Amino acid sequence: MTVGIDAHVHLWDRALDPQDWIDPETMAPIARDFGASDLKEMLGSTGLDHAVVVQSSNSLAESVRLAQLDPSVVAGLVGWVDLTTDVEAQLDEIRRNATVPLVGVRHLVHIDPDPEWLAREDVALGIGVLEREGLCFDFVVRDWQLPQAAVVSGRHEGVRFVLDHLGGPPAPGADASAWAAGLKELARRPNVAAKVSGIVSGLTPGSWRAEDLADRVLIALEAFGPDRLLYGSDWPLVELGGGAVAWKAAVDSLLGELSAAERARVFGSNAADIYSRR
């Protein structure tokens, strides 16, 4: 039986984990708390079974709480630790009372004040700990940071890297040549996979159709192939761009030429394989 996995969702309780980036006026659909029951409802609406929950803030306390979610719906956690110091101790703290497995780590590189954060030596040492622990590292970067991601993944061939949101392709109609070149170069590293996620969260609902996104998705499919692509909703942020159901339908349509086995990999098996402990 094939298990469907949404490889990229977020959950938050703002009283415990403030999400100051949420503007209640312009982001009204997500200006509330989201918990496991909401996630279960969303997954049911998109026909998937489980999800990988991804950190929303660079906060160890948030990751500790997310690790204690309902394992019947959460397949794993991509949490946050400070990769520059005491990485093992932080990983132990997340795992201490965990009910779901810690499968990876992410840092909000795209908004870090240091534009060269990925290239730092202390970060490299932290990524080395992830390799020893059998954990993935999720890249969340802008298109101009894709070359940095390519260098890092080339230096750490024993680490599995996952590119979130296809590296932030430009909106439909904008020049995507630089992004496409960076994506293809990154895809040459066999230890890198990519999530088909997050590319409508910044668009206005009703302003896009699946066809408008076809070139972005098909470039990624050609670069990574169906064995290194993962479906992710980027829920609840996707509600800002039309909703999880509309996004899942768009990806279903755009990947319609894949075989049943290939689709099963994109919509679940790849996430299960890549985020498994080695």
What pLDDT digit, counting tens, does each position of 128-152 carry? Answer: 999 999 999 999 999 999 999 999 9
Pull the structure tokens for residue 162.
């996952």
CB 110 within 8 A of CB 140: yes
pLDDT tens readout for residues 149-185: 999 999 999 999 999 999 999 988 899 999 999 999 9
User: Which class for 1: exposed (0-12), middle (13-18), buried (19 or more C-beta within 10 A)?
Assistant: exposed
Phi, psi of 178 (to 5 degrees): -65, -45
pTM exceeding the 0.85 threshold for the entire prediction: yes
- Residue 213 is classified by DSSP as G
pLDDT of residue 276: 87
The chain-wide mean pLDDT, for the chain, equals: 95
CATH T-level assignment (fold) for domain 5-274: TIM Barrel (3.20.20)
pLDDT of residue 90: 98
Residue 234's pLDDT band (boundaries 50, 70, 90)?
Answer: very high
pLDDT tens readout for residues 260-270: 999 999 999 99
pLDDT of residue 277: 60
